[in-house]
Amino acid sequence: MTVTRRTRAPGARAAYLNGPALALGLAALLPVAFLAVFFLLPVGGMLARGFLPEGRLDLSGVPEVLGRARTLRVLWFTLWSSLAGTVLTVGLGLPVAFALYRLRFPGRALVRAVVVMPFVLPTVVVGVMFRSLLASRGPLGGLGWDGTWVPILLAFVFFNLAVVVRTVGGMWEGLDRRAEESAAALGATPFQVWRTVTLPALAPAVVSAATLVFLFCSTAFGVVLTLGGLRYGTVETEIYLLTTQFLDLRGAAVLSVLQLVAVVLMLAVAARTRAATETTRRRVGAKAAARTPRRHDIPALGVTALAVAFVLLPVGTLMVRSFRRSGRWTLENYRALGDPASTPALRVSVTEAVANSLRTAVDATVLAVVLGLVVAVVVSRRPRAAGWRRVVAALDGAFMLPLGISAVTVGFGFLITLDRPPLDLRTSPALVPVAQAMVALPLVVRTLTPVLRSVDPRQREAAAALGAAPWRAAWTAEGPVLARPLLAATGFAFAVSLGEFGATSFLARPDRPTVPVVIYQLISRPGVEHLGMALAASVVLAVLTTVVMGVVERLRVGSLGTF
Amino acid sequence: MRHTRVLALTATLTLTLSSCSLLGGDDADETSTSADTGATADDAATTSAGATVAPPADLGAVTLITHDSFTLPEELVSAFEEESGLELEVQTAGDAGELTNQLVLTQGSPVADVVFGIDNTFGSRAVSEGVLAAYTPADLPASAEEHLLEGGETMLTPVDFGDVCVNVDDVWFANNGIAAPQTLQDLTKPEYKDLFVTPGATTSSPGLAFLLATVGEFGPTEWQGYWEDLMANGAKVTSGWTDAYTVDFTAGGGDGDRPIVLSYASSPPFTIPEGGVQPTTRALLDTCFRQVEYAGVLEGAANPEGAQAVVDWLVSPEVQAAIPDNMYMYPVDSEVALPELWAQWAPLAEEPIVVHPGQIEAERENWLREWADVATG
């Protein structure tokens, strides 16, 4: 497989929906069962409570809830803020992905790590840091942004930049540069090269990333509450209020269905856009692709510098404040982390919480990566029959759904549906990694699928024709290009699990809290020592994640494209 | 090339899978802790019970569901387990409102046997929805009786209480030469414009308590006007207590610019400066709403006897004494000594503002919606 022509993948490609396809279908049953039990069942249970209160269908809530002025305002804000957040994040993320995955410069690994850091910081801590910066006496107080929607958008970009940079960067890293160079040699301007060669090649990954970011923004919870000061409710915060405070399950069910419909529509549009742009690509090793910066890379590097500054401002504030107590520089906040007796507010020391977090993250990552790999392989196949193609597409979308549905709905759904054997899991410690895996799974799928789809199926067919067994053919054709994105996805899944708060706080047992849960407990207490410890623990969490991801990425997985 | 790759992958996998996972790694931990706690529990059993009794037979596990702020020293828990022969498991579920609503939602199939943390703002709901079974501890401290919930006397056992009050930064007011406010009405005066911050009633338990304080003070038809004045006077509403106190308040450790904050009567002792002797803030005792937290046995509990034992334990002198330092609330047992700093600097309101629990239950949702319209636009 030395030369592969670039071809648009025609729908009627010879696919193998026979013996191996059957095996693949069976393999897909595992993630499907996972999704059914831990997502569809709980959500269905909550919807049933809302729409079938007395066992009879009662849709009277629909016009009533939709008629509330508040509902419309909440819907509108959710929609435009998520769209704006997505556009901003993608706009900033693309140049950064270029600089960090196409260029080679000293300190690149560090910058990559910095960009990922926000992704795992607990939202409540980031909210407090943003507000400290923007509050009227804060360093940026002059901007007058405190309590407006601006910080909410900034926070969307802050948290999700990593998603764009990594999803797009992973794709970009392996792209053969020669097509761009040929276009340039033939007289295309850099913009023409970007528009006609690079962008089409990246489109699937960009759409993937944008989809994820949109879902994250539209279901953002803590950060909207903290930064919006209650003025800017979203569908997610509204479902939370209706469910946990008002116990208005009817209203919550109506909003959940709206959320579901919106997410399905959006996924369908995204899938269409992806399908229209997906082509097979020649992929090369990262080494071959990255080059040293030239003069015309200055804008991209400039934007990257800006992005790093933007990320470092809240993170830096946090770090500085973690070393201060009562106006003095001190390590006291860090020392207290290892001492269970340092505050009566905690049942375990933060060091123990770190151990819990790491253990949970290992479970969640294994679960997410194994299931995600299966899903990615299945949905990257292109069956010949239109019906099967639709099944594959639906499957692809189904695993994205958990990101778009309120964590409260899923969490309360767990409580009312998983309450009897054989699924009496409500108090099982296994639910924590399961819930975290559910959040990480879409990221794994979206990182791997664009790469898998860019592999020409004829490579597999050629291998099969030469007598390789199907799995062997897949391994030979797809294994090499998959290795690096798989590592990236693993690191990402690990980070998601370490930073996950919403579902974890709901499910984690108090004697075995994870770090974000402990940080939340600390920050909700009076006393400067608790705030200081919360900040120190956040720094530990961020550094821990960065180190783990750095180590994972550094595992040299052969060099690609050299065989 | 290929060899390196396979090696690396194998290494990753082995590393990942062999490092102890949550489920795998637990057993070892569990054994070691129970061995540890066994020793301390023995001591505690002798000291606290006053006489050494043979530990009763293993009565199985009892599950307590409570709010996020629940925490008690490990020694107390082990002593309880040792004396009762029960194994105490704790589940948490958000704040008092979320906790109560979760109980209502899982009615008939409760996650736990016993609940602690339902407060007087949600107590009536728990009682009227029938999630609780009748139980009153035999030796309920006499001082607890004044905290009994009207209509729920047989089901909800008062465990602790606290006052949610407006706090002021005395240093700020002294430095600025302004007299600090005294009453809720004062907060709408022009000299206190843009100086007050409070967590919102829809997203925060103390926020809800403050809303109820204004309802109790001004009446169910007048409080809306008060809130309009309050908002017009530049009051700031945050989502949670944390950012109101740590970001906006002048004395909460941040660089806030508002010297009046909604917090607790127990907050001032935390503002004693290092090396100082007295707090820089105080609670305004005419602005307080009293929160009482209750425990109760759940209807349909798998282990009702165990649940009753937990309720008894929560009002026992040992737990009552541990409550202030661990949960920042006042014990219902007035015989129990308060921490010194509390006794000195965290007085309670003489006459807290009262709203009838039944009225709260009937009107809560309406009030919250009206409040949201006025306060969050």
DSSP code string of A60-83? THHHHHHHSHHHHHHHHHHHHHHH
B87 falls within a domain: yes
d(C-alpha A127, C-alpha A131), whole Å = 6
Let me know: does B250 contact B270? Beta carbons within 8 Å. Answer: no
Identify the DSSP state of A283. Answer: B
Output the furthest CA–CA distance in chain B (Å, rounded): 79
CB atoms under 10 Å from CB of A188, counted, come to 16
Residue A422: asked if its preceding bond is cis (omega within 30°), the reply is yes
Do B214 and B150 share a structural domain?
no
Per the structure, how many domains does chain B have?
2
Range from A495-499, B7-11, B38-42, B328-332 carrying the lowest mean pLDDT: B38-42
d(C-alpha A247, C-alpha A240), whole Å = 9
Beta bridge partners of B198: B237
* pLDDT-derived band at B232, boundaries 50, 70, 90: very high
Interior CA angle at A384 toward A380 and A387, to 5°?
90
Give B-chain residues touching A138 at CB under 8 angstroms. 255
**Coil/strand/helix, residue B63:** strand
A230 to B17: CB separation less than 8 angstroms, yes or no? no
B16 part of contact set with chain A, CB < 8 Å: yes
B positions 299-358 inside 8 Å of A (CB): 325-326, 328
The CATH number assigned to the domain holding B332 equals: 3.40.190.10
B positions 113-142 inside 8 Å of A (CB): 125
Let me know: does B291 contact B214? Beta carbons within 8 Å. Answer: no
Identify the DSSP state of B181. Answer: P
Residue A379: what pLDDT?
84
Nearest to B1 among A346, A412, A562 (CB): A562
B20 → chain A, closest CA residue: A359
- In angstroms and rounded to an integer, the radius of gyration of the C-alpha atoms of chain A is 24
Residue A553: what pLDDT?
67
CB atoms under 10 Å from CB of A114, counted, come to 18
Give A-chain residues touching B19 at CB under 8 angstroms. 358-359, 362
B15 part of contact set with chain A, CB < 8 Å: no
Homologous superfamily of domain range A19-554: MetI-like (1.10.3720.10)
Do B216 and B154 share a structural domain?
no
Do B253 and B195 share a structural domain?
yes
B246 to A346: CB separation less than 8 angstroms, yes or no? no
d(C-alpha B200, C-alpha B227), whole Å = 12
Residues A434-470 as b/e (b if ≥16 CB within 10 A, e otherwise) read bbbbbbbbbbbbbbbbbbbbbbbbbbbbbbbeeebeb
Compute CA distances A1 → A171, A301, A453, A462, whole Å: 20, 35, 17, 9
Residues 6+ apart with CB under 8 A from A262: A79, A218, A404
Residue A289: what pLDDT?
61
What is the complex's ipTM, to 2 decimals? 0.71
d(C-alpha B8, C-alpha B12), whole Å = 6
B24 falls within a domain: no
Residue written as token pair 């301007």: A189
Do B302 and B279 share a structural domain?
no
Do B370 and B244 share a structural domain?
yes
B221 part of contact set with chain A, CB < 8 Å: no
Between B323 and A532, residue with greater pLDDT: B323
Domain assignment of residue B212, given as a range: 163-290+352-375
Question: Which one-letter amino acid corresponds to residue A393?
Answer: A
B19 falls within a domain: no
| B71 Cα to chain A: minimum distance (Å) | 6
B25 falls within a domain: no
CA A32 to chain centre: 20
B111 to A412: CB separation less than 8 angstroms, yes or no? no
CB atoms under 10 Å from CB of B73, counted, come to 16
Let me know: does A183 contact A196? Beta carbons within 8 Å. Answer: yes
Residue written as token pair 């949550």: B22
Let me know: does A504 contact A517? Beta carbons within 8 Å. Answer: yes
Nearest to A137 among B237, B257, B376 (CB): B257
Residue B54: what pLDDT?
47
d(C-alpha B198, C-alpha B243), whole Å = 9
Give A-chain residues touching B23 at CB under 8 angstroms. 363, 429-430
Q: Average pLDDT over chain B, rounded to whole?
A: 83
Residue A90: what pLDDT?
95
| B75 Cα to chain A: minimum distance (Å) | 11
Residue B296: what pLDDT?
95
Compute CA distances A540 → A330, A350, A357, A490, whole Å: 16, 10, 12, 20
Beta bridge partners of A291: A103
B17 falls within a domain: no
Do B314 and B221 share a structural domain?
no
Structure tokens at A187: 């007289």
Do B123 and B105 share a structural domain?
yes
Residue A1: what pLDDT?
38
Residues 6+ apart with CB under 8 A from A29: none
Compute CA distances A301 → A94, A127, A138, A234, whole Å: 11, 28, 29, 35
Do B365 and B283 share a structural domain?
yes
| B147 Cα to chain A: minimum distance (Å) | 24
| B361 Cα to chain A: minimum distance (Å) | 11
B50 falls within a domain: yes
A135 to B247: CB separation less than 8 angstroms, yes or no? yes
Do B363 and B234 share a structural domain?
yes
B229 part of contact set with chain A, CB < 8 Å: no
What would the mean pLDDT of B86-96 be, rounded to a whole number?
85
Do B286 and B200 share a structural domain?
yes
Residue written as token pair 């569990």: B30
Let me know: does A355 contact A338? Beta carbons within 8 Å. Answer: no
Do B119 and B228 share a structural domain?
no
Structure tokens at B245: 């106190």
pLDDT of B229 strictly over 90? yes
Question: Which one-letter amino acid corresponds to residue A495?
Answer: A
Residues 6+ apart with CB under 8 A from A167: A205, A208, A209, A212, A446, A447, A450
Residues 6+ apart with CB under 8 A from A159: A118, A119, A121, A123, A126, A216, A220, A223
pLDDT of B6 strictly over 60? no
d(C-alpha A322, C-alpha A340), whole Å = 19
Let me know: does A516 contact A499? Beta carbons within 8 Å. Answer: yes
Residues 6+ apart with CB under 8 A from B220: B359, B363
B134 falls within a domain: yes
Structure tokens at A284: 């090369």
B23 falls within a domain: no
Let me know: does B285 contact B165? Beta carbons within 8 Å. Answer: yes
Mind giving me the DSSP string for B193-236?
TT-EEEE-TTT-HHHHHHHHHHHHHH-TTTHHHHHHHHHHTT-E
Residue B247: what pLDDT?
82
Torsion of CA A436, A440, A441, A444, to 10 degrees: -160
Do B307 and B286 share a structural domain?
no
d(C-alpha A514, C-alpha A359), whole Å = 9
Residues 6+ apart with CB under 8 A from A57: A51
Nearest to B202 among A245, A356, A527 (CB): A245
Structure tokens at A540: 């530990």
- Mean pLDDT split into 10-residue runs, chain A, 563 residues: 42 48 78 90 89 80 81 88 94 92 85 80 78 77 79 90 87 79 85 84 87 88 75 83 83 89 86 74 59 82 90 85 82 83 74 89 93 88 78 84 84 82 76 87 84 77 77 75 81 85 76 84 76 86 81 56 27
pLDDT of B41 strictly over 50? no
Is A429 exposed, middle or buried (CB count within 10 Å of its CB: 0-12, 13-18, 19+)? buried
Let me know: does A532 contact A324? Beta carbons within 8 Å. Answer: yes
Residues A138-174 as b/e (b if ≥16 CB within 10 A, e otherwise) read beebeeebbbbbebbbbbbbbbbbbbbbbbbbbbbbb
Tens-place pLDDT, residues B262-299: 999 999 998 888 788 889 999 999 999 999 999 999 99
**Coil/strand/helix, residue B29:** helix
d(C-alpha A250, C-alpha A53), whole Å = 8
| B10 Cα to chain A: minimum distance (Å) | 11
Residue B311: what pLDDT?
95
**The total number of residues written for chain A in this structure:** 563
CB atoms under 10 Å from CB of A478, counted, come to 21
| B8 Cα to chain A: minimum distance (Å) | 6
Let me know: does A88 contact A160? Beta carbons within 8 Å. Answer: no
Beta bridge partners of A325: A328
Let me know: does A289 contact A179? Beta carbons within 8 Å. Answer: no
Question: Which one-letter amino acid corresponds to residue A434?
Answer: V
Residues 6+ apart with CB under 8 A from B210: B164, B166, B198, B199, B201, B262, B289
B68 to A345: CB separation less than 8 angstroms, yes or no? no
